[in-house]
Amino acid sequence: MLSRNLAIASLAALTLAACNNEPAGDPMGGLPANDYVLVGIGNGTVPLRNITLTLRAEGVSGRGPCNGYALRNTVPLPAVAFEPIQTTGITGCKDEAVEQRFFNALQQANEMEYFGGVLRIKGPTWLIFESGRPADLATDALSAARGNQ
């Protein structure tokens, strides 16, 4: 009887221990790691669709109309606290004002959310992204299969 009670107590302890082991969690905070295209800044639209963002657990990177960029996120997603932006340092391009507005909004962001295929990066100025890549960077399956033919 003592050994049966001991076995039951051991089994109960193992069961409780298993319940207390919570999974490490989703490093993406429920956000899809993906490529995105900027479609809106604040209340306005971005008609050229020439600013990209690639979202990963460790941060974001992409291309603007002038520069490539990268920012490392220092807190778990969906919260955002970016380190200072790193860019390729090109100045004087015709779309520099839009790119700087985007960079400033991204640097001040504090949270992300994803709903209905749309990624929103929140801060004083919201950034709105759709999944995908700009047409000039996208490759259809037929072109990819043909390669350099």
Segment 33-70, tens digit of pLDDT: 999 999 999 999 888 899 999 999 999 999 999 999 99
**pTM attached to this predicted model:** 0.74
Mean pLDDT of the chain: 82
**Number of domains within the chain:** 1
Inside any domain, residue 109: yes
> 139 or 71, which is more confident?
71
28 falls within a domain: no
Domain assignment present for residue 48? The answer is yes
Closest of 72, 68, 69 to residue 59, by C-alpha: 72
Q: Which domain holds residue 108?
A: 35-134
Residue 56 lies in a domain: yes
